[in-house]
């Protein structure tokens, strides 16, 4: 991100925040259809809005990323990178369809799992030299029913639904033809020294009157999070034109990822400012954790005297203690597929201070029986599983997770993927994630109103 500078003008229009009233993408839509079904948008009275235009979110995710291979589906804080922006777009409820444009099978699979439809781009717009605009033009031609396209950058994982809601209102309520996101920067810029020039000059300040940060409004820079444009503008080969406005995002939400060194920084920012969806971590009261393949690495060791042993990571044990101090109950599960011998189970229960339950029937059936005894609903249960028998529970749990080395069928069912494999810190990782979510809920406040500002024709930055 960080594109051309956009100077704010004297004649500006500030708009109040509000909820755009529209329907979101239909998860039951036919994935094989090239054209999104045009469904009526409802107004605040629940009636069909007149003059409705189809607004589509399009996330570009080519498989040939050079800086970070397959960056778009690399795990960031337990979620594939594109999953963060797909979730924000879907939960905003302002798009008639949400798409991921890709040329890669794995990215297509992840996109569909996250709830997006897929535009399988052609080879002509999948080259290293292809531009975003060329891909959007291809999408527009294949989907003529789409009137407005929002190009959301996959590398903006701190995007929230409220950002998109406010920007869409500028299109639907105030008649803008293009809206793009910016962030305010307080950076002094200097002329690059090249072509024989030996001295540099300041571009946006007078060195003799160097202002303090608090005395300078700064400058507005594109942060690359999203670009709204009508199909007419995209057909003309521009993303910013006609009646244009910028949407100012706060710096904490402006994150971009281009090279490896950006990844850990982005992950820390996401953990604090990212959008974690509609899950309700404050309701979680019970963690069900499989022993084999989660708490242990699934192996049973035998001594020379034929004594069976299990290996348990001390970090996982500490994590269980942390969660119990927060008031959550932890129950360990031993299933018929991978039973834990009773002497080892007793020792493990004693070591962790947790009840260990042996399941003999189908997992989901027995887990629901256990929940009934404890008078718990699925939304109150966190579940750590690792294989096919866990899929039903992972799909139903308020928060489901799997270790890093779980098979694909379990990975696809989980909402969170641990950064560590089974028996090597996966339990601790999931518990820390639960605690982070609970802490966020306890301190969460309403996000500040963003600055929605119109650009006059002589103030627009060139595309």
- Clarify whether 369 is annotated catalytic: no
Using alpha carbons, select from 97, 143, 410, 93 the residue that is nearest to residue 418.
410
HEC string of 13-60 equals CCCCCCCCCCCCCCCCCCCCCCCCCCCCCECCCCCECCCCCCEEEEEE
Q: Catalytic pick from 35, 210, 272, 369?
A: 210
In terms of DSSP H, where are the helices of 185-297? 231-235, 262-273
Facing residues of 153 across strands?
Answer: 60
Distance CA 368, CA 393 (A): 9
For residue 123, the surrounding DSSP H or E stretch is none
- Spatial contact of 70 and 90, defined as CB atoms under 8 Å apart: no
Distance CA 48, CA 414 (A): 36
Q: Which residues contact 313 (CB under 8 A, 6 or more apart)?
A: 423, 424, 425, 427, 428
Q: Which residues contact 171 (CB under 8 A, 6 or more apart)?
A: 55, 148, 177, 179, 228
Q: What are phi and psi of 230, to 5 degrees?
A: -75, 160
Facing residues of 14 across strands?
Answer: none
Alpha-carbon dihedral sign for residues 130, 135, 137, 141: positive
- Spatial contact of 239 and 137, defined as CB atoms under 8 Å apart: no
In this structure, what token pair is assigned to residue 15?
């708009």
Facing residues of 39 across strands?
Answer: none
Q: Is 301 helix (H, G, I), strand (E, B) or coil?
A: strand
Q: Is 174 helix (H, G, I), strand (E, B) or coil?
A: coil
Distance CA 236, CA 181 (A): 21
Alpha-carbon dihedral sign for residues 171, 176, 179, 183: negative
The residues assigned a catalytic role are 210
């Amino acid at each position: 991100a960080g594109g051309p500078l956009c100077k704010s003008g004297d004649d500006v229009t500030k708009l109040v925040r509000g909820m755009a009233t529209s329907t979101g993408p239909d998860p039951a839509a036919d994935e094989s259809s090239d054209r999104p079904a045009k469904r009526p948008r409802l107004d605040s009275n629940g009636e069909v809005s007149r003059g409705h235009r189809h607004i589509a979110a399009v996330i570009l995710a080519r498989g040939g990323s050079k800086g970070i291979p397959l960056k778009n589906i690399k795990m960031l804080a337990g979620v594939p990178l594109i999953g963060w922006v797909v979730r924000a777009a879907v939960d905003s409820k302002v798009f008639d369809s949400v798409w991921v444009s890709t040329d890669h099978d794995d990215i297509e699979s992840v996109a569909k799992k996250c709830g997006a439809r897929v535009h399988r781009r052609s080879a002509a717009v999948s080259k290293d030299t292809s531009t975003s605009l060329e891909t959007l033009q291809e999408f527009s031609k294949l989907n003529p029913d789409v009137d407005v396209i929002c190009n959301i950058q996959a590398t903006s994982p701190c995007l929230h639904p409220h950002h998109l809601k406010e920007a869409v209102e500028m299109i639907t309520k105030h008649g803008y033809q293009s809206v793009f996101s910016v962030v305010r920067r307080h950076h002094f810029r200097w002329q690059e020294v090249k072509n024989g020039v030996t001295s540099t000059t300041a571009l946006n300040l007078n060195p003799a009157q160097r202002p303090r940060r608090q005395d300078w409004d700064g400058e507005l820079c594109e942060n690359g999070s999203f670009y709204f444009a009508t199909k007419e503008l995209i057909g003309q080969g521009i993303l910013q034109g006609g009646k244009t406005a910028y949407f100012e995002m706060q710096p904490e939400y402006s994150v971009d990822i281009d090279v490896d060194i950006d990844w850990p920084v982005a992950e820390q920012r996401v953990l604090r400012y990212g959008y974690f969806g509609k899950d309700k971590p404050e309701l979680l009261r019970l963690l069900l954790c499989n022993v084999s393949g989660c708490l242990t690495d699934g192996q049973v060791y035998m001594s020379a005297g034929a004594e069976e042993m299990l290996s348990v990571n001390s970090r996982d044990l500490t994590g269980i203690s942390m969660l119990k101090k927060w008031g959550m109950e932890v129950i360990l599960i031993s299933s018929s597929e991978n039973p834990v011998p009773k002497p080892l189970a007793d020792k493990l229960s004693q070591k962790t201070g947790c009840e260990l339950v042996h399941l003999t029937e189908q997992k989901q059936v027995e887990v629901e029986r256990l929940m009934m005894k404890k008078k718990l609903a699925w939304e109150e249960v966190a579940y750590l599983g690792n294989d096919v028998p866990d899929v039903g529970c992972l799909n139903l749990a308020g928060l489901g997770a799997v270790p890093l080395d779980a098979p694909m069928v379990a990975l696809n069912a989980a909402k969170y993927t641990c950064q560590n494999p089974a028996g090597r810190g996966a339990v601790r990782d999931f518990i820390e994630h639960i605690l982070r979510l609970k802490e966020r809920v306890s301190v969460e406040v309403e996000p500040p109103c963003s600055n929605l500002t119109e650009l006059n024709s002589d103030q627009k930055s060139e595309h």
